[in-house]
Chains A and B, each alone.
Chain A
Amino acid sequence: MPLLEVRNLTKCFGGLSAITELDLDVFHSEILGVIGPNGAGKTTLFNLISGFYPPTHGRVIFEGKNITGLKAHKIAQLGIGRSFQASTLFLKLTVFENVFIGFHMNYEEAAWKSSLHTRSARREERAIRQKVLEILQFMGLVDLKDQIAHNLPHGHQRILGVCIALATHPKLLLLDEPLTGMHPEETSRMLDLIRKVQGRNITIVLVEHNMDAVMQLCDRIVVLNHGRKIAEGLPKEIRDNQEVIEAYLGTEEED
Chain B
Amino acid sequence: MSNQKRRTKITTALFLLGSILALLPLIIKSPYQIHLLIMTGINVMLAISFSILFSAGLITMGPAGFWAIGAYSSALLVMKAGLSFWLSLPLAGISAGLVALIVGLVIVRNPGVAFIVQTMVINMIIVQILGQLEFLGGWAGILGIPNPNSIGPIRFVSKTSYYYLILFLLLVTTAGIYGAYSSRVGRAWRAIKLTPHLAETLGIDLYRYRLLAFVISSCVAGIAGSFYAHYFRSLEPGMFSVFKSIYVQIYSILGGLNFYLIGPVLGSLIMTFVPEFLRVSKEIEPIMTGGILIALVIFLPGGILSLPERLGFFSRPLLSRSRQTGVPPSEQGDH
Q: Do chains A and B touch in the complex (CB under 8 A)?
A: yes
Q: Which residues of A contact B (CB under 8 A)?
A: 50, 52, 71-74, 76-77, 81-82, 84, 88-94, 96-97, 100-102, 104-105, 107, 111, 114-117, 121, 125-126, 129, 132-133, 145-146, 164-165, 167-168
B206 surroundings in chain A (CB, below 8 A): 73
Among B188, B200, B202, residue most surrounded by chain A Cβ atoms (within 10 Å)? B202
* Bound complex: CA A76 to CA B330 (Å): 25
Among B176, B183, B188, B199, residue most surrounded by chain A Cβ atoms (within 10 Å)? B183
- Contacting pair A101 B202 (CB below 8 A): yes
- Contacting pair B202 A90 (CB below 8 A): no
Number of interface residues of B (CB under 8 A): 28
- Contacting pair B195 A89 (CB below 8 A): yes
- Contacting pair B184 A90 (CB below 8 A): no
- Contacting pair A114 B330 (CB below 8 A): no
A200 CB, nearest partner CB in chain B, Å:
18
* Bound complex: CA A74 to CA B201 (Å): 9
- Contacting pair A76 B327 (CB below 8 A): no
B164 CB, nearest partner CB in chain A, Å:
25
B109 surroundings in chain A (CB, below 8 A): none
- Contacting pair B201 A92 (CB below 8 A): no
The 9 closest A-B pairs by CB, nearest first: A105-B203, A114-B183, A72-B200, A96-B330, A76-B203, A97-B327, A114-B184, A115-B183, A115-B179
A77 surroundings in chain B (CB, below 8 A): 203
Give the residue name and chain of the A residue nearest to B206 (CB): A73
Q: Which of B136-194 contact A (CB under 8 A)?
A: 176, 179-180, 182-185, 187-188, 190-191, 194
A84 surroundings in chain B (CB, below 8 A): 197-198
Q: State which of A72, A101, A133 has its C-beta within 8 Å of the C-beta of B191.
A: A101
- Contacting pair A168 B195 (CB below 8 A): no
Q: State which of B180, B191, B194, B325 has its C-beta within 8 Å of the C-beta of A104.
A: B191
* Bound complex: CA A33 to CA B182 (Å): 40
Q: Which residues of B contact A (CB under 8 A)?
A: 176, 179-180, 182-185, 187-188, 190-191, 194-195, 197-206, 321, 325, 327-328, 330
A165 surroundings in chain B (CB, below 8 A): 201
- Contacting pair A50 B201 (CB below 8 A): yes
* Bound complex: CA A102 to CA B205 (Å): 13
B160 CB, nearest partner CB in chain A, Å:
32
* Bound complex: CA A132 to CA B187 (Å): 15
- Contacting pair A90 B183 (CB below 8 A): no
B205 surroundings in chain A (CB, below 8 A): 71, 73-74
* Bound complex: CA A146 to CA B328 (Å): 12
- Contacting pair A105 B327 (CB below 8 A): no
Please judge, given known A-B contacts A89-B195, A91-B195, A129-B330, whether A104 and B184 are in contact too, CB under 8 Å: yes
- Contacting pair B330 A73 (CB below 8 A): no
- Contacting pair B328 A125 (CB below 8 A): yes
Give the residue name and chain of the B residue nearest to A136 (CB): B330
- Contacting pair A164 B330 (CB below 8 A): no
